[in-house]
A and B are shown apart, each in its own frame.
Chain A
């Protein structure tokens, strides 16, 4: 069963939500129920792919073992590095095998599972997570609404939700909002994204028709793809958020009107928010902190250079995480360079003087959107199709 697309998924989801509503509205905790529902859902997910299911179970056992081991000695640097490498290793293996088209230990959801598992390890080492019961840990990493593609929740927030006592009214509000989100997400993904996908027709650059016509066709293709990607993923994210709310978990929001972004930094605070904030907190800030501590860059430009290098590395990793292909790596590099360039631009006198003005904001919005859709054309492989030719 595929999550958020098969009819059978929605039937099981409806049954699960009915049960949650009865429990929640009578003021009972949804922790045990939600955990059991997640187990049932994951069994359904992997029913047709038992090998994947086996790898998923093995990964969960490994991640759980690593987290529990580190919690017993959180300050040990050696243990931290070992558990971190062990937790990341399967995903790296999957990505490398994927790039070489070799069958591997991959299973649906491994990328997102790795994010959640790594967050617990890093925050345990930082002393922010002292203990997490086995049930809370397993529920957090295997929470079915966000299992396959996020949004990427944070464990301390998640566990707080599990143990919160909610009044009937409070839960009723969450349930209502959850159901609305699921319905709105269905419209996004199954109606709007489906129509857009029908219009999406990427082709190699045809030199027999006038250049102008071909250019218009390519630009239109890039726009259709970008809009499709938004409605498909934002729709999925809304449904995942909605299912979470019905189970009493305030799954964080993943999109905030990304096409209203007035600059590229603003865009990443609106597009796939949980991913970009995860990378900001666990990659960018830590990398930048190490560079500042060791004075990697010196002089007047040290600050700018540090943040630029950390940004490019951060976004390259984001690209690599999507897949080790030229398209994804270039997509990551492209956004890293754009962010680094914006970092410089935002320090200029011109920017400081004009960035609040209406004209500046309009022009900046327009330019940002063109850059964003060019990025989507890289991501979708449209650019490489054009470069390679038919």
Chain B
């Protein structure tokens, strides 16, 4: 975290749903499947409200919570 630049930090907090329209429903599906493949963590489509998983930081947080 300490080596992160200001820009990187900001991009980690960008709202992927609203600000840059990156995370549509299909992207959300791909994200959940990739998390499953990479970390063995299964998150159901309605498990996390969209506003709790819409920035890179929040996604990391949700995965870490389930790996702990």
Contacts and interface: CB of A to CB of B under 8 A. Distances in A.
B30 A285 contact: no
Contacts of A126: 44, 46-47
A285 B29 CA distance: 6
B28 interface: yes
Contacts of B30: 292, 303
B45 interface: yes
Interface string B15-37: 00000000011101110110000
A209 B28 CA distance: 53
A221 to B, nearest CB: 34
Contacts of A281: 45-46
A163 interface: no
A7 B44 CA distance: 44
B40 to A, nearest CB: 14
- What does DSSP make chain B's interface, helix, strand, loop or mixed? helix
Contacts of B33: 289, 292-293
A340 to B, nearest CB: 11
Interface in A342-373: 343
Interface in B30-68: 30, 32-33, 44-47
A214 interface: no
A286 B26 contact: no
A127 B29 CA distance: 18
B46 to A, nearest CB: 5
A297 to B, nearest CB: 12
A123 B46 CA distance: 8
A66 B29 CA distance: 28
B46 A289 contact: no
A289 B29 contact: yes
A280 B25 contact: yes
Q: By DSSP majority rule, is chain A's interface helix, strand, loop, or mixed?
A: helix
A205 interface: no
Contacts of B45: 281-282, 285-286, 289
Nearest to B34: A292
A265 to B, nearest CB: 8
B26 A303 contact: yes
Contact of B47 (A128, A280, A306): A128
A288 interface: yes
Nearest to B29: A288
Contacts of A154: 46
A289 to B, nearest CB: 5
Nearest to B36: A293
A307 interface: yes
A122 B25 CA distance: 18
Given A128-B44, A128-B46, A286-B45, A292 B29 contact: yes
Contacts of A334: none
B46 A307 contact: no
B28 A285 contact: yes
Contact of A288 (B26, B44, B46, B47): B26
A24 B32 CA distance: 41
A128 B45 CA distance: 11
A282 B44 CA distance: 10
Given A289-B33, A292-B33, A307 B47 contact: no
A284 interface: yes
A36 B12 CA distance: 49
Contacts of A289: 29, 32-33, 45
A288 B46 CA distance: 14
A122 B46 CA distance: 10
Interface of A: 122-123, 126-128, 154, 265, 280-282, 284-286, 288-289, 292-293, 303, 306-307, 310, 343
